[in-house]
Amino acid sequence: MIIEQILKSKGRSVMTARHNDSIHEIASRLSHRKIGAIVIVGDNGKVDGIISERDIIRLVAEHGAQALAMPASEGMTRNVVSCSSASTIDEIMEMMTNGRFRHLPVIEDGALVGIISIGDVVKHHTAEVELEVTAMRGYLATG
């Protein structure tokens, strides 16, 4: 299965924030939308960074309550690893495992077209495995 198929079922909307949005604002959006990460975009819409709940915990641990007033640009991860719509589930599972992160923006021709979380990967990988099992049972039953 490729990422394009996952985006077709889950949709392409991605929660984004700007460099100057505060960590407090970002935490509110993550909580409100029940998501784990937000992509930080520049004026041209280019992906400049990502902030996940893990970054917010680190900032609060390091700076205490002052972390909430800090701008996104100070807390975000800048070297964002991304995939394309043509990437496979196996490829992105490897990227997430090697990079130790659970979110992967999908970029096509420089534009942000979706985001895949570890939850999406597990859901679709499980469905894929179940399909294979059903097919194998079919082969066995028909001899």
Minimum distance of ligand AMP from residue 131's CB (angstroms): 27
DSSP 55-105: HHHHHHHHHGGGGGGSBHHHHSBSS---B-TT-BHHHHHHHHHHHT-SEEE
Judged by beta carbon, residue 70 or residue 81, the one nearer ligand AMP is 81
Among 50, 56, 72, 89, binds ligand AMP (CB under 6 A): 50
Tokens of 87: 């990437």
DSSP 2-25: BHHHHHHHH-S---EEETTSBHHH
Looking up tokens 């299965």 gives 1
Any contact of residue 38 with ligand AMP (CB under 6 A)? no
Any contact of residue 7 with ligand AMP (CB under 6 A)? no
Any contact of residue 87 with ligand AMP (CB under 6 A)? no
Alpha-carbon Rg of the chain, whole angstroms? Answer: 18
Any contact of residue 103 with ligand AMP (CB under 6 A)? yes
Q: What is the C-alpha to C-alpha distance for residues 69 and 74, in angstroms, rounded to an integer? A: 11
Any contact of residue 80 with ligand AMP (CB under 6 A)? yes
Closest chain position to ligand AMP (CB): 52
Judged by beta carbon, residue 50 or residue 124, the one nearer ligand AMP is 50
Among 54, 63, 123, 125, binds ligand AMP (CB under 6 A): 54
Q: Which residues bind ligand AMP (CB under 6 A)?
A: 36-37, 50-55, 77, 79-81, 99, 101-104
